[in-house]
Amino acid sequence: MSEEFDSTIPTVFLSHTYTPSTLGLQFIVAGTGGGVGTTTVAALLAVALTQRTGYAPRLGDHCGGTLTTRVQLIAQAGPHVVHDLGPHIPALQELTEPSVCPVIVASADPYSMDIAESVAQRRHSLVICNHVHPGTDQLPHTIPPTTMVHLHWDPALARPGLVNPHDITMGTATSLEEIFHFFGI
């Protein structure tokens, strides 16, 4: 079972990182608990967004994590931002700007899925069910299939260090396409 998530909104996130008038899309990645993979998903999104647009998104690490050690972006900075909130999932409900692309990362277990489902019902969000192993795609939940992406275990994402887009599996590449399609990119 994941550790209990922190229901407080990180003040650093609210105080100076969110200025919708000057930014493009903002991917806000928050997890249902510690260790569910928010930093890895944020790094994967940043790398994939750079490849897709030709511009590097700005990064926001609001959980004291290691986002900058997972990403090496060598491209001109673009208008988009990828934020890693860590286990601060309730913060997603406070963000209502149209430029916000909320991403909930949940483990493939009933506890995490219940948390993700309760937040997704109140705030239109994409739910990424992380660490999916064969046979766990059918967890009991009522999250619509159109708002859920299964991210299967990938050795390129499981190891520490930089996320290299050339090492990801076809399943991860397909999941990325589903994520971008959800947000209309």
Task: Work out how many domains the chain is built from and give that number.
Answer: 1
What pTM value is reported for the model?
0.81
For 117, the enclosing helix (H) or strand (E) is: helix 110-122
82 — phi, psi (to 5°)? -120, 120
Helix axes 38-53, 170-182, angle to 10 degrees: 80
Domain contains 7: no
Model pLDDT, residue 20? 40
Task: Specify if 10 maps to a domain.
Answer: no
In Å, how far are 164, 165, 177, 179 from 44, measured between CA atoms? 8, 8, 12, 11
- The answer to whether residue 31 is domain-embedded is yes
State how far the Cα of 60 lies from the Cα of 50, in Å rounded to an integer.
Answer: 15
> Is 168 domain-assigned?
yes
DSSP 149: E
In a domain, residue 163? The reply is: yes
Residue 121 is part of which domain span?
A: 23-140+151-182
CATH number at residue 37: 3.40.50.300
Within-domain flag for 18: no
* 13 part of a folded domain: no
Q: How many CB atoms lie within 10 A of CB 5?
A: 20
For residue 21 the two structure tokens come to 């008038």
Predicted local distance difference test score (pLDDT) of residue 11: 36
Instruction: Kindly state whether residue 17 falls inside one of the protein's structural domains.
Output: no
The answer to whether 37 and 105 are in contact (CB under 8 A) is yes
Predicted confidence at residue 5, as pLDDT, reads: 32
Measure the CA–CA gap between 45 and 81, rounded to whole angstroms. 10
Per-residue pLDDT of the chain in tens (185 residues, 90 and over written 9):
333 333 333 333 333 343 443 568 889 999 888 888 899 999 999 999 998 888 999 998 888 778 888 988 888 888 999 999 988 887 777 777 778 888 988 887 888 888 888 877 777 788 887 765 555 555 556 677 778 888 888 899 888 899 988 899 998 999 898 888 888 88
* pLDDT at residue 139, rounded to an integer: 57
Tokens 């890693």 appear where?
84
